[in-house]
Amino acid sequence: MSVIFEVENLSLHYLTRFGNKIHAVNDVSFTMEQGEILGIAGESGCGKSTLVNGLMGLFIPPLHPTSGDVRVGGESLMNRSPKDIRQNVLSRKVSMIPQGAFNALNPVRKVKDIAADVMAAHMKGMDRKHIYERLKERFDLFGMETDKVLNSYPIQLTAGERQRSVIGISTLLNPQMVIADEPTSALDVTTQKVVIKLIFELLEKKIFSTMIFITHELPLLRHVADNIAIMYAGQIVEKGTAEQVVFDPRHPYTKALMGAMLSADAEQKTRKPTAIEGAPPNLAKPISGCRFAERCPSVKPECKNREQVIRIVGERQVRCEYAE
Ligand SMILES: Nc1ncnc2c1ncn2[C@@H]1O[C@H](COP(=O)(O)OP(=O)(O)OP(=O)(O)O)[C@@H](O)[C@H]1O
Ligand SMILES: [Mg+2]
């Protein structure tokens, strides 16, 4: 297996109008192999969507890189203009299925025109007739009424058709890697299932093979992902195989999260949901010790002033020196 995507000590911040920095992503490192599906989970506000922008090299103020590097196929995405990134990286190398993708389609254009624009931007010289043929071929794979969908305005489509169209458009150019940022949130359970099924179909049809899948829903992730990374307050606190992270979590935050999230899962129904008390730290202020110390059930006096780094525990990575 070959590594196609590398993230090295990536830190990102938002610069507010008042000149304050919000350190939304801190010291994130991981690599992705061809064919790998990595799930990323964590509470709302822990920096998942911010990280996604960083992973695409897309820095639009107020978001700025603080330090670190992101490489696709060995090529760095840092210090490049949004225009360069849009033209040369997005859609082809890394493609995103955005959070709220549902509403991502321009309401005043037909689906075929939205899709054709994406293709035309990358396939200079290809005429519209050929573009529509390619589109039709691809949308036929999705089990939709292709002609109807392509000739509709987004509002004329069902939620499922809209989601399928967004996924279809995002993957038109067979990107090396897809990043799906909560593709199923805001959808009803039935539509969620349809979307997950579609993602699996695309993987099976080899339209793309490498994916980062971000979600609040761990029960879902453990069926989809090979590996899972758990984020807390801008950092990855644990990363391992889906099996390890879900069934044998080692970081106190992962343990708490599993208790809170998996309780609704059928196999875990007997467990009572346990909310994690307290709130994450304020990312606008410097944080000296472990970011989870304030809420950690196994906190030690030294945790509050000792910053934690990722260490290897068995076959996984954990950001807690007391994890066994
Ligand atoms: N434009 C912005 N300006 C300043 N701070 C921001 C901005 N966007 C996000 N943040 C802050 O950055 C942090 C991370 O936000 P982000 O949206 O990445 O979290 P998330 O994990 O994707 O949350 P959710 O699960 O709700 O989508 C939060 O503290 C948020 O308030
Ligand atoms: Mg988000």
pLDDT, position 142: 80
Q: Comparing 78-82, 274-278, 308-312, which segment has the lowest mean pLDDT?
A: 274-278
24 close to 47: Cβ distance less than 8 angstroms: yes
Region 19-42 average pLDDT: 96
Q: What secondary structure does DSSP assign to 246-295, as a single string?
A: HHS--SHHHHHHHHHHGGGSGGGTTSPP-PPPS-PPPTTS---S-TTGGG
Q: For residue range 137-159, what is the model confidence (pLDDT) as tens digits?
A: 889 988 789 999 999 999 999 87
Which is more confident, 260 or 71?
71
Q: Does the beta carbon of 49 lie inside 6 Å of ligand 1?
A: yes
pLDDT-derived band at 125, boundaries 50, 70, 90: confident
What is the enclosing helix (H) or strand (E) of 170? helix 159-170
Q: State how far the alpha carbon of 120 is from the alpha carbons of 126, 173, 211, in Å.
A: 7, 11, 24
pLDDT-derived band at 58, boundaries 50, 70, 90: very high
Q: In 167-198, which positions are buried (b, 16+ CB within 10 angstroms) versus exposed (e)?
A: bbbbbbbebbbbbbbbbbeebeeebbebbbeb
Answer yes or no: is pLDDT of 3 > 60: yes
Domains and their CATH numbers in the chain: 3-108+153-318 (3.40.50.300)
Residue nearest to atom 4 of ligand 1 (CA): 14
- How remote is the CA of residue 63 from the centroid of ligand 1, in Å? 10
234 close to 200: Cβ distance less than 8 angstroms: no
Going by C-alpha positions, the residue among 221, 268, 267, 274 that lies closest to residue 243 is 221
pLDDT, position 262: 62
- How remote is the CA of residue 128 from the centroid of ligand 2, in Å? 35
Q: For residue range 94-108, what is the model confidence (pLDDT) as tens digits?
A: 999 876 666 778 999
Answer yes or no: is pLDDT of 224 > 80: yes
pLDDT, position 273: 54
Q: Comparing 75-84, 269-278, 283-292, which segment has the lowest mean pLDDT?
A: 269-278
pLDDT-derived band at 217, boundaries 50, 70, 90: confident
What's the CA gap between 62 and 95, in Å, rounded? 22
Answer yes or no: is pLDDT of 17 > 90: yes
The atom of ligand 1 lying closest to the CA of 234 is 14
User: Residue 90 has what DSSP assignment?
Assistant: B
Residue nearest to atom 29 of ligand 1 (CA): 45
Read off the tokens for 243.
């099996």
Q: Does the beta carbon of 276 lie inside 6 Å of ligand 1?
A: no
pLDDT, position 274: 62
Q: Considering every ligand atom, which ligand is closest to the CA of 96?
A: 2
For β-strands 75-76 and 63-72, DSSP reports them as antiparallel
Read off the tokens for 268.
């875990």
Q: What is the mean pLDDT of the chain?
A: 89
- How remote is the CA of residue 151 from the centroid of ligand 2, in Å? 31
- How remote is the CA of residue 134 from the centroid of ligand 2, in Å? 32
105 close to 114: Cβ distance less than 8 angstroms: yes
Which residues, 6+ apart, have CB-to-CB distance to 109 below 8 Å? 153
